Amino acid sequence: MNDTIVAISTKLGEGAISIIRVSGPESINIVNKLFKGKDLTKVTSHTINYGFINDGIKDIDEVLVSIMRAPKTFTREDIVEVNCHGGIAPTLKILELINQAGARLAEPGEFTKRAFLNGRIDLTQAEAVMDIIQSKTDANRSLALSSLEGNLKNYITTFRDKLKYLLANIEVNIDYPEYYDIEEITLEDIKKTITDLKVDLQDLITRSVERLIVKNGIKTIIIGRPNVGKSSILNTFLKEDKAIVTNIEGTTRDLVEGEIIFDGIELSLIDTAGIRETDNIVEKIGVEKSLSLIDNADLIIVVLNSSEELTDNDKFILDKVKDRNPIIVLNKNDLKAKLHKEDFTFDHIVSTNTNSFTGIDSLKQEIKKMFNLDEIKEQDYTYLANNRQLLLAKQAKKNLEEAEKSLLADTPVDIIEIDLRAVFDTLGEITGENYSDELLDELFKDFCVGK
Ligand code: GDP
């Protein structure tokens, strides 16, 4: 890792500026060889220097060069950033010259990898860098920033410190039971700490699962009989500036007729016309397909026509989703009502009229409330950011449960210690306290070159 690397850090194309980034012990010397302006080896750190990149015969481009000396840099190595005009030719030429002058072309994510290996950030922060770059909604940006700022890292570190303290106490008691002056730790103390930690970890897992749904897009289906107003509701969502149309299938009555993304919520439409109990094999396959979409949805919105009595089809659907915490929409509330909120026992019921947009805001608020969407922006909660972290946290919780079980079964305390040590190590994998080269390769391969 002692060599010097170079990459284009901006998107290659026509733009105002491009940035070519160099990191490593030789970065200042290498760029200085090509720079016409001040002697870069003598300028103060964290300065921007005006001049030209010159290939030894002629000027290539007019540039601004940032000099940032270790250790106060992203990689904790000397970093030089060349800001040139944002065209393909000058950018590639400068990259080529810096490469020829002695810097190796960087691999994807190698700058961030170095930041991790040099202790500038932990793995949760490295993953957050990628999440910020890839975030398409404000909620995701906000979650990623929280991790980048070290909230998750601090949470895990504090958690591990508590375990370390407990382990140290257990060890002292095992090794030197005869020492009177050592504060004796009772089984009750151990049990209480383990239970507290388990509750804490379960809390983190639960709220993170919810966050991951939001991060990946809340898969929402709007279901109901034909003509109750599903498309009209979807269209009112579409009128929002922020809604992005990803796939509108048109007028055919396909299973999924439309899909939009709204503030992190992915909405799809399903008509329940075909969803009913049947013995017909072909029809059965169609019904099962629709039902599996319902099974896989994160959120179900059932639309009913409030000006008509419930039909058997409505009842069949309501029964299918009754345990899925659906939102019931009583649409067409401008007409004489045959259905009322009081007729239902569901927790989330809104009344709408898509002709005048009444109630649509309440529907959005209901969705936001169910997934705490506003809370993400307002509160500084800590969340696990991906499946890798979630699986490790679940594993750690399992180990804690093992320890708790052993404790209740009067297992010798040194066996319990083994389980607790496993919790400590597993959580360390989340932050990258212990890691394998394979894991790093896997993590950084999806990064862009230059990050
Ligand atoms: P879908 O088949 O469930 O997607 O239903 P549509 O959205 O196509 O609506 C069916 C019909 O109901 C259309 O003629 C709409 O104009 C009408 N409609 C939709 N929402 C309302 C509403 O809130 N009030 C009234 N009066 N008519 C509505």
pLDDT, tens digit (0-9, with 9 covering 90-100), for 310-367: 998 899 889 989 999 999 999 999 999 999 999 999 999 999 998 888 898 899 888 8
Tell whether ligand 1 has an atom less than 6 A from the beta carbon of residue 351.
no
Any residues with CB less than 8 A from the CB of 352 and at least 6 apart, and which?
A: 229, 233, 329, 330, 331, 333, 358, 359, 360, 362, 363
Helix (H) or strand (E) segment spanning residue 115: helix 110-117
Q: Looking at the CA of residue 228, tell me the nearest atom of ligand 1.
A: 3
pLDDT of 257 higher than 70: no
Q: How far is the CA of 247 from the centre of ligand 1 (A)?
A: 21
- Lowest average pLDDT, out of 30-34, 66-70, 338-342, 364-368, goes to 364-368
Tell whether ligand 1 has an atom less than 6 A from the beta carbon of residue 231.
yes
pLDDT of 301 higher than 70: yes
Report d(CA 286, CA 273) in Å as an integer: 11
Q: How far is the CA of 364 from the centre of ligand 1 (A)?
A: 19
Q: How far is the CA of 353 from the centre of ligand 1 (A)?
A: 9
Q: Indicate which residue's Cα is closest to atom 22 of ligand 1.
A: 332
Report d(CA 229, CA 237) in Å as an integer: 13
Report d(CA 199, CA 162) in Å as an integer: 14
In terms of average pLDDT, the best of 185-189, 399-403, 443-447 is: 399-403
pLDDT of 252 higher than 80: no
Q: Looking at the CA of residue 234, tell me the nearest atom of ligand 1.
A: 7
Give the Å distances, CA to CA, from 108 to 91, 135, 402, 434: 18, 18, 40, 22
Tell whether ligand 1 has an atom less than 6 A from the beta carbon of residue 353.
yes
Q: How far is the CA of 221 from the centre of ligand 1 (A)?
A: 17
Q: Indicate which residue's Cα is closest to atom 19 of ligand 1.
A: 229
Q: How far is the CA of 244 from the centre of ligand 1 (A)?
A: 22
Q: How confident is the model at residue 268 (pLDDT cuts 50, 70, 90)?
A: low
pLDDT number for residue 428: 95
Give the Å distances, CA to CA, from 268 to 83, 190, 261, 283, 317: 44, 50, 9, 21, 17
Q: How confident is the model at residue 250 (pLDDT cuts 50, 70, 90)?
A: very low
What pLDDT digit, counting tens, does each position of 402-424 carry?
988 988 887 888 888 899 999 99
Q: Looking at the CA of residue 352, tell me the nearest atom of ligand 1.
A: 23
Q: How confident is the model at residue 175 (pLDDT cuts 50, 70, 90)?
A: low
Tell whether ligand 1 has an atom less than 6 A from the beta carbon of residue 272.
no
Query: Would you give the DSSP letter of residue 411?
Result: -
- The pLDDT of 373-381, averaged and rounded, is 62
Q: How confident is the model at residue 202 (pLDDT cuts 50, 70, 90)?
A: very high
Tell whether ligand 1 has an atom less than 6 A from the beta carbon of residue 331.
yes
- The pLDDT of 35-44, averaged and rounded, is 98
Tell whether ligand 1 has an atom less than 6 A from the beta carbon of residue 232.
yes
Instruction: Report the percent of the chain where pLDDT is more than 90.
Output: 53
Residue pair 20/42 in contact (Cβ under 8 Å)? The answer is no
pLDDT number for residue 242: 40
What pLDDT digit, counting tens, does each position of 87-119 carry?
999 999 999 999 999 999 999 999 999 999 999
Average per-residue pLDDT in the chain? 85
- The pLDDT of 196-204, averaged and rounded, is 93
Q: How far is the CA of 285 from the centre of ligand 1 (A)?
A: 28
Q: How far is the CA of 232 from the centre of ligand 1 (A)?
A: 6
- The pLDDT of 427-443, averaged and rounded, is 90
Name which residue leads in pLDDT, 243 or 399: 399
Q: How confident is the model at residue 371 (pLDDT cuts 50, 70, 90)?
A: confident
In terms of average pLDDT, the best of 177-181, 264-268, 340-344, 439-443 is: 340-344
pLDDT number for residue 256: 43
Tell whether ligand 1 has an atom less than 6 A from the beta carbon of residue 230.
yes
Q: Indicate which residue's Cα is closest to atom 10 of ligand 1.
A: 227
pLDDT of 279 higher than 90: no
Q: Indicate which residue's Cα is closest to atom 17 of ligand 1.
A: 229
pLDDT number for residue 177: 58
Pocket test for ligand 1, best of 223, 232, 338 (most atoms within 8 A of CB): 232
Report d(CA 451, CA 446) in Å as an integer: 11
Residue pair 418/403 in contact (Cβ under 8 Å)? The answer is no
Residue pair 361/182 in contact (Cβ under 8 Å)? The answer is no
- Please choose, from the candidates 372, 432, 449, 392, the residue with its C-alpha nearest in 3D space to the C-alpha of residue 215: 372
Q: How confident is the model at residue 265 (pLDDT cuts 50, 70, 90)?
A: low
Q: Indicate which residue's Cα is closest to atom 28 of ligand 1.
A: 332
Q: Indicate which residue's Cα is closest to atom 20 of ligand 1.
A: 229
Tell whether ligand 1 has an atom less than 6 A from the beta carbon of residue 222.
no
Q: Which token pair is 406?
A: 């052993």
pLDDT of 59 higher than 80: yes
- Lowest average pLDDT, out of 29-33, 104-108, 369-373, goes to 369-373
